[in-house]
């Protein structure tokens, strides 16, 4: 079975392009439009008896930003799921804040498909 990735980003265009890239590489993708929606989708996936292999999130989103989302995920049963950040935020202080919250990696937009897939393969280990 293909590994499931939850991708959280408020931009429909970004969700579409990242999901396309991941699906072409053989992953299943569930999309969420902000941190709150991401938590709802994560719970829904769990309720269906499935698990997420990876979460990819943006930082700057309405309702709940990526840092708050990561902190909330780390309080759930999904606390050991790796989380990659895909964002325009390049400031060292923000990257440190993300790592302190529990992010496994940090990628900058605009992304290159090869770079994204390399990072995904690094953190999504075979089970």
If one counts the domains in the chain, the total is 1
Ranges assigned E (strand) in the chain? 4-8, 28-32, 54-57, 83-87, 105-108
Range of the domain at 35: 4-123
Evaluate whether 113 touches 125 at the Cβ level (below 8 Å).
no
Query: How does pLDDT run across 54-111, given as a tens digit for each residue?
Result: 999 999 999 999 999 999 999 999 999 999 999 999 999 999 999 999 999 999 998 8
Evaluate whether 58 touches 69 at the Cβ level (below 8 Å).
no
Instruction: Please report, for the chain, how many H helices and E strands are present, in that order.
Output: 5, 5
Please give the DSSP secondary-structure letter assigned to residue 80.
Answer: T
Residue 54 sits in a domain whose CATH number is: 3.40.50.2300
Query: What pTM was computed for the model?
Result: 0.95
Q: Residues 25-34: what's their mean pLDDT?
A: 96
């Amino acid at each position: 079975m293909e590994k499931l990735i939850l991708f959280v980003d408020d931009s429909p265009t970004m969700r579409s392009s990242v999901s396309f890239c991941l699906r072409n590489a053989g992953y299943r993708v569930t999309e969420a439009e902000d941190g709150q929606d991401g938590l709802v989708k994560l719970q829904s996936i769990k309720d269906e008896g499935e698990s997420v292999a990876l979460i990819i999130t943006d930082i700057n989103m309405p309702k709940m930003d990526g840092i708050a989302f990561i902190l909330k995920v780390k309080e759930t049963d999904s606390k050991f799921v790796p989380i990659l950040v895909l964002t325009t935020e390049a400031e060292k202080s923000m990257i440190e804040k993300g790592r302190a919250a529990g992010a496994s990696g940090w990628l900058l937009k605009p992304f290159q498909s090869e770079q994204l897939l390399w990072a995904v393969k690094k953190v999504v280990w075979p089970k």
